[in-house]
Amino acid sequence: MFAQFEQIKCVPEELCLNYSDISPERFEAHIKKVLSNEIPTENLAALMPMKEFEKFDEYLDEKILDRANANDRLDIESARQAAAKALEELAGRHSQGPVRNETGFYEREIANQSSDGPK
């Protein structure tokens, strides 16, 4: 939802998001924004396609539903933890430069890996 809020193209794949057509600098700025408190959680909840979950939700104003969903449905803390981890990995790569595969997605580079697996 953070990417959708900032109008950044990303593709959900199982438990991860793949960002394409984004510069490393823009991606880093996006991650830093996720870590900040600049984006109100109610604004993220407003992007939810389905807002009604409880029995009487259909009778509530949309802004009330957005506030309730922001508090009860969005796991902002986990998103920020994932963003912090991504930022740490980016910081370790600055000396190596970005890594892209043929589809344009950034891939994680595994250092010191032999044919037997990670060391």
List, for residues 64-83, the tens digit of each pLDDT value.
999 999 999 999 999 899 89
Q: Which residue bears the tokens 């589809």? A: 103
Q: How confident is the model at residue 13 (pLDDT cuts 50, 70, 90)?
A: confident
pLDDT of residue 117: 47
pLDDT of residue 37: 82
Percentage of residues in the chain with pLDDT exceeding 70?
Answer: 78
Tell me how far apart the alpha carbons of residues 48 and 68 are, in angstroms, rounded to a whole number: 12
**The amino acid at 64:** I
Q: Rounded to two decimals, what is the model's pTM?
A: 0.64
Q: Please determine, for residue 119, whether its predicted confidence score (pLDDT) is greater than 50.
A: no
Who has greater pLDDT, 37 or 47?
47
